[in-house]
């Protein structure tokens, strides 16, 4: 979902049972600062997960 500044940064979205989970945490515990393209890719992934949940 884009290049990470630090290896320990976490940007994940996944389907877990009846929940859609999102993790966006930087190496030092701060929220990630995402570029436009990264936000658009994240939105697309979340929409795909939501569509899978509905079906």
Mark out the alpha helices in the chain (DSSP H runs). Answer: 36-54
pTM for this entry: 0.69
Query: Residue 41: which of 10, 11, 8 has the closest Cα?
Result: 11
| pLDDT band, residue 6 (cuts 50/70/90) | low
Residue 50 clears pLDDT 60, i.e. is over it: yes
Dist. CA 38–CA 28, nearest whole Å: 20
More confident residue, 15 or 4: 15
Q: What value does the mean pLDDT take over residues 23-36?
A: 86
Report pLDDT for 5: 58
Residue 17 clears pLDDT 90, i.e. is over it: no
């Amino acid at each position: 979902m884009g290049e990470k500044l630090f290896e320990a940064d976490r940007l994940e979205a996944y389907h877990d049972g009846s929940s859609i989970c999102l993790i966006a945490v930087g190496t030092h515990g701060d929220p990630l600062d995402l570029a436009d393209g990264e936000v658009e890719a994240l939105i697309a992934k979340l929409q795909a997960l939501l569509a899978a949940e509905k079906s």
